[in-house]
Structure formats: C-alpha cells, structure tokens
Amino acid sequence: MRKNRFLREAQNVLSQMREIRRDLHRNPEVGMEEIRTSRLVAEYLEDLGIEVKTGVGGTGVIGTIYTKEGGRTVAIRADMDALAMEDKKSVPYASSKRGMAHSCGHDGYTAMLLGTAKILCKFSDCLNKGNVRFVFQPSEDRLPGGAIPMISGGALRNPKVDGIFSLHLDPGFREGLVAVKSGYSAISSAEFVLTMIGKGGHVAYPHRIADPVVMAGMVIVAGQTIVARRVDPLNPTIVAFCSVKGGTANNVVPDEVTLTGTIRTLKPETRDGLARLLEETAQGAAQIGGGDHRLSVEMGYPSVFNHPDMVGEFKNSARKIAGPESVMDVQVPSMTGEDISYFHQKIPGVNWHLGIANPERGFIHPLHSPVFDFNEEVMPLGAAIHAQSAVDFLINRQGRPLTHHSGR
C-alpha cells in the first residue's frame, strides 16, 4: 500500500520538528511570556512565505495560507506555553531555566504545527478549496488562558474561520493511537479558596474560642457528600480539597484556616451549582462552630464540546494517515480542562488525542510530571493528521456549512 503523501513528507520534516521541539524544551517560557518562542514561530512561518501576524492577544502568533478568495477557512491551533515547575529529566534537551519546564507537550504541539505548515506549503495544490490558518496560542496552562485574548485579537477573523482542530498528547493511550470523543470531551473547572473564620485562643479554654480547625474539618467531611449525594452519579464530577493552611503552634487555636481546592464537572451549569453547594456547606459549618467564612471561586475553562459532524469527518481523515485500527472513539470525557473550549464556543471544532505511551522505551510518565517526555518519532503522525484534516475539511465544507453547536 502506498504511503500517504502527507505522512511521507512529515517523516521528511521530522528532523526539523525534533530540532524545534528540543530547542523549545531547553528554553521554556510560561504563559504570556513566550517572547522567544513566538519569535521562533514567526520566523519559521515567514521563511515559508506565509503571512504572519504577531502579538495577537499578547504573545500569540497566527499565520495564514491564502489560496481561494471567498473560500472556507480552517484553523489548526497549538499552545506554546511551559509550566512553572522543575524539569528533572536527564536528557541533553532538559530545561535550562530553573522553575520552568515543558511537561505537557506544548513544545511538541508547536513543532508539529510548524511541520504541518511546511507540508501544506509544499502541497498547496491541495488547498484550492480554501485557506488554512495556523494559530499558535500562549498561556493555555495559566488562567485565565490565552484563547480569549487571541479571539479578541482577531484570530478567527479576516478571513472568517469556519472550523478549528487541535491536538493533545495523551500518555493514557498507546503510542500512535488516535483517540477522539464526540460531544463533551473535557470538563469545565473552577478553583476555590475558602477561609473558615473563628476566634483563636488557648486550647485549655475551648469554651472561649470558635475553632476554625474544626469548622474546616466539617467542611472537608461534609464536602464529600456534595458529589456523593447532591449530583447525578452519571454526571462526572470532582470536588477536591487540595491544601489546608492554618495554625502556628500545637497549643494555640488559630483565628483562621484556609482551604483551597478545585471543582471539575462536565456541564457548565453543574459547575455553578457546585459552587453554590460549597457555599452552603461552609455556611452551615460556620454556624455550627460559631464562626464565619469567606469563599472565593475563580471559574476556569468551560467544557470542551467536539462537533459531532466534524468528529466523524476527522476520523475518516485520521484513518488515511494512521490506519483504521489506530483510530478509536472515546466514550468517557477527560477530567482535565482546556481553553480550546473558548474557540469551540465561537466555531465548530475537534480536539483530539494522540497516544504516546511506550513502556518499552520508558515513556510512561503522566502529563505535568517533572520527568514527562515522549518519543519524538510520533510527531510526523500528528503533523500529517493535521494536514489531512485541514484539506478534507475544506473539501467537505464546499456548499455544506456546519450548524454550530458549542455545547452551552
């Protein structure tokens, strides 16, 4: 069987993608500080002869291949930011910056999308049905995220973008497996800070104090019933308390104890309801303990909704590259958040996963691990699927616009 020409060319571009990925891995930049990364991306696109706009929504970059006036436009998005954490890998391309590391694969996304741009420039004859926009987004891993600023900065305008694809590396699937879920595919999230306020004092006089430690304990215990008894068990939901801070000595009751944590759920309306239930739980514990409380909730990214029609077409595109046996439907949504959701609220989109688990070569560590890494030989697969999906989308959309459904 003859190898797909996009995949064949992507394998020819692997050395460049590897070089770019390792350069970015050695020189990570966190959200909205991707100055060097943006410059590298812009220069690469300009060398390909692609029109480039920089400073979009901060440090974002967009490049556009124009091939047909009045035709449809498809976008492919890659996030560029690193995490504020240490890189503990013993590899030649380990991070050179203390407290910064590409431990979520964004360096790979950027390298693959640049590889896609090169492939589509070579095979521009395939793009006679429309235009392709390459969206390099900052700050996916740092709230409030870079998607909204890029959208406000015109990433989906001039020309109007009709659909968007994005990729997520996933150590939960074997290397080379393409996985995608139709409909809701990733949760909405919120972070909270809850302070239980009491009246501190000596432990010898419990009747003269209002103990915020006890109040905090009641909230933690009672908080488990929010999910267990107040939420439909078929609706994936998490309410997690992740830190407890308070007190200075073993015989002094503090004035305050602060709890921090996260709320994660599939439906945005459920997230809002969980925040109200947490408020009620804290209020009840404070009344019982004779104290007060203060709760702040920062809403994170909305749920990601993959357009069902686009998912079906994407799977056909992916099969042309990876083979039918390597493309699978995901039944359960991911409990991680992704600000590609903001793009999907504006236009139809597909966020798909590419498996990178390879125990034989030691690639077994989860995302956000200080030793996270992946086999770079998987990058041609990602770049080629991007290219095939973009070309097929433009062909499929001729005279058949999608009815947008954001999931909201």
Instruction: Just list the catalytic residues.
Output: 81, 140
Q: How far apart are CA 58 and CA 307, in angstroms?
A: 28
Helices 14-26 and 106-122, packing angle to 10 deg: 150
Answer whether 350's CB lies under 8 Å from 311's CB: yes
- 4-32: string of b/e by CB count within 10 Å (b at 16+)? bebbebbbebbeebbebbbebbbbbbbbb
Cis peptide before 268 (omega within 30 of 0): no
Angle at 339 between CA 334 and CA 342, to 5 degrees: 115
Neighbours of 404 (CB within 10 A): 14
Q: CA nearest 350: which of 48, 76, 47, 103?
A: 76
CA distance 355 to 378: 9
